[in-house]
Amino acid sequence: MARIKVAVIGLGNVACTILQGIEYYRQGLNGKRGIWHEMVGNYSIDDVDVVGAFDIDASKVGRSVADALRMFGKGNGNSINTDVYKDLNVSAGIMVDKPPEHWSMDITRVDRDEFIDALKQCNADVVVNLISSSLDASSLAYAESSLQAGVSFINATPSSLQSNHGLIDAFRDRRLLMVGDDLMSQFGGTVFHKGILQLLHRRGMIIDSSYQLDVGGSSDTRNTMREEVRARKRAIKTASIDAELPYEFGITAGTTEYTEFLKDERVSYYWFYAEGFMGSPVRIDVMMRSSDGANACNILLDVIRAVKYARDKNSPELDEMISAYGFKSPPKVMSVMDAQQEFEEAFVL
């Protein structure tokens, strides 16, 4: 049985959780409880191998992945299995952007040619871009380098790569996939918002307005506090949620504040106003608290397996379907339930 060899860029909350999760399920802890889709294409989670890890934090580069994750987890509330990936070292990545002002870490970086060589050496099938929000030039450099190395690319960040049609075509020409942008969690703030709107709409209610306010404690949330990044994230979330209804309504959604003590957790506040028979009002006011890292993992593992399966079938044109299922800002916007149905019909056996 073929394996899926994955290179991860950016050892933060999501990477920390997914690396541990792969081993958690491989060791049979608690069976497969918590796995959404046991099989995607011909692949189970047990078929996913992380063969490369890249970061620019000098305190992580050169260490084993186990050491880097243990060091990261102490400050982010994650439970660290110190035996995981002790034989895999963290390699230096690319850094094209100017570092955000609040960063205090020392940076170790390589040029594109060195990164491409390192990526080829680990023989990855798929690259997963999990670097911080706002590093747009670096995300583009990683995508272009992955193309040169002959590796499919998953952009989990909000950086706008799906609007680069020339780059998408270049991946397809090499029978590779580039999917994204901005990973949508399994049951995070955006999908919850979309689901409530769908329920109201399908029950015949007329939605007048809604809003979503998010507060988080991860390092990525902190990076989002830069006003231009926050505005773009708000626009992406708002457009994604707006696609759920066939008519215009008042909608605002986005990250509003960074609160350090929340660590990997996110608190989302929602308000909905809809009308029914004779204009009778329905108001919903609700709060949800969830884990950013864990919420991303099922979707990301589904996307990784679907990308590899599509390449196995020589079907890079499936990139749009995968993007619609797993991301907030795909090239083809669909309602969350329609995207899920199409994905499951194509990939879930």
- The two three-digit tokens of residue 244, written as one number: 């759920």
**Average of pLDDT values for 6-13?**
94
Confidence category of residue 235, pLDDT binned at 50, 70, 90: confident
Q: Which of 211, 340, 342, 180 is nearest to 283 (CA)?
A: 211
DSSP-derived letter for residue 262 is: G
Contact 349, 39 (CB under 8 A): yes
User: φ, ψ for residue 254 (rounded to 5)?
Assistant: 165, 170
Model confidence over 167-193: pLDDT tens digits? 999 999 999 999 999 999 999 888 999
Q: Supply the pLDDT for residue 76.
A: 47
Average pLDDT in the chain = 91
- Residue 266 CA: distances (Å) to CA of 22, 183, 221, 329: 23, 15, 9, 20
Cβ-based burial of 84 (10 A; exposed 0-12, middle 13-18, buried ≥19): buried
Give, for 281, the enclosing helix (H) or strand (E): strand 281-291
Q: Supply the pLDDT for residue 223.
A: 65
Q: DSSP string of 52-94?
A: EEEE-BTTTTTSBHHHHHHHHHHTTT----TTTTTT-BPEEB-
Model confidence over 186-208: pLDDT tens digits? 998 889 999 999 999 999 999 99
Q: How far apart are alpha carbons 88 and 187 in whole angstroms? A: 31
User: φ, ψ for residue 171 (rounded to 5)?
Assistant: -65, -45
Model confidence over 108-139: pLDDT tens digits? 999 999 999 999 999 999 999 999 888 999 99
Per the DSSP assignment, residues forming a β-bridge with 316 are: none
SS3 label, residue 156: coil
Q: Supply the pLDDT for residue 82.
A: 53
Q: Supply the pLDDT for residue 72.
A: 67
Model confidence over 285-316: pLDDT tens digits? 999 998 888 999 999 999 999 999 999 999 99
Side-chain half-sphere of 212: how many Cα atoms within 13 Å? 30
Length of the chain: 349
Contact 92, 53 (CB under 8 A): no
Q: Which of 109, 106, 158, 107 is nearest to 130 (CA)?
A: 158
Model confidence over 17-55: pLDDT tens digits? 899 899 889 888 778 999 999 999 999 999 999 999 999
Q: Supply the pLDDT for residue 33.
A: 93
- Identify the structural domains of the chain with CATH numbers, from first to last: 4-184+294-347 (3.40.50.720), 189-291 (3.30.360.10)
Q: Supply the pLDDT for residue 75.
A: 46
Q: Supply the pLDDT for residue 1.
A: 58
More confidently predicted of 213 and 149: 149
Q: Supply the pLDDT for residue 229.
A: 67
Count Cβ atoms below 10 Å from residue 261 Cβ, excluding itself.
7
